[in-house]
């Protein structure tokens, strides 16, 4: 079971290439297990948002993120361009919505199914 922690504000650099490598709102910073115990700063800092995905194995999210990478672009700072492939998200369906927890959002499979990439979905959640 997985939780995703995302960036909610843009980090900006005047240098174009450096700017590409900086986290922007909606970017996935990390994917962790449901059992993750967050620090107070991670739970309350407004620049983060934690998305709980009940019933979704961490490995499925990680695999989906990695499949968005283009190996031909490894020289570029592409890590924050990773996206979760829609088909990967779609096949995760069928779980019930969990309770909304403090400082966390719970994304249902149905919601995940309704968007092309989870990254966009997350942007909507925090918006």
Q: Which residues contribute to the site for other proteins (CB under 8 A)? A: 5, 7, 11, 13, 15, 18, 21-23, 29-33, 36-39, 41-42, 44-47, 59, 62-63, 66, 74-75, 77, 79
- Residue number with CB closer to other proteins (13 or 116): 13
Q: Which is nearer to other proteins, 85 or 111 (CB)?
A: 85
Q: How many Cα atoms are found within 13 Å in the side-chain-facing hemisphere of 52?
A: 19
CA 51 – CA 17 distance, rounded (Å): 28
Minimum CB distance to other proteins, residue 17 (Å): 9
- Distance, CA of 36 to CA of 49 (rounded, Å): 14
CA 39-100-126 angle, 5° bins: 75
Which of residues 5 and 107 has its CB atom nearest to other proteins in the complex?
A: 5
Q: Which is nearer to other proteins, 15 or 96 (CB)?
A: 15
| 118 phi and psi angles, rounded to 5 deg | -60, -30
Residue 85: CB minimum distance to other proteins, A: 13
């Amino acid at each position: 079971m997985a939780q995703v922690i995302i960036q909610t504000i843009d980090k900006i650099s005047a240098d174009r290439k450096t700017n590409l490598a900086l986290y922007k709102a909606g970017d996935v910073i990390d994917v962790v297990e449901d059992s993750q115990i967050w620090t107070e700063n991670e739970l309350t800092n407004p620049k983060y948002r934690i998305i709980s995905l009940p019933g979704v194995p961490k490995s499925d999210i990680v695999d989906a993120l990695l499949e968005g990478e283009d190996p031909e672009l490894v020289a570029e700072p592409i890590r924050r361009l990773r996206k979760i492939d829609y088909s990967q998200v779609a096949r995760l369906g069928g779980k019930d919505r969990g309770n909304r927890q403090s400082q966390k959002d719970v994304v249902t499979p149905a919601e995940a199914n309704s968007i092309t990439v989870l990254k966009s979905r997350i942007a909507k959640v925090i918006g």
